[in-house]
Amino acid sequence: SEGTIEVGGQRIDKLSERKLAGWRARHVGLVFQFYNLMPVLSAQKNVELPLLLTNLSKSERKKRASIALDVVGLSHRTGHYPRQMSGGEQQRTGIARAIVTDPTVLLCDEPTGDLDRKSGDEILDLLQALNREQGKTIIMVTHDIHAAARATRTLHLNKGQLSTDSVD
The 105-109 sheet, strands edge to edge:
28-31, 105-109, 137-141
- Would you state the pLDDT for residue 9? 83
In 3D space, the residue among 165, 167, 147 whose CA is nearest the CA of residue 156 turns out to be: 165
The string of pLDDT tens digits covering residues 8-30 is 788 999 899 999 988 888 899 99
Domains of the chain (ranges, CATH numbers): 6-167 (3.40.50.300)
| SS3 at position 29 | strand
In 3D space, the residue among 142, 136, 119 whose CA is nearest the CA of residue 33 turns out to be: 142
> Where does the pLDDT of residue 59 fall: very low under 50, low under 70, confident under 90, or very high at 90 and above?
very high
Integer Cα distance of 130 and 116 in angstroms: 21
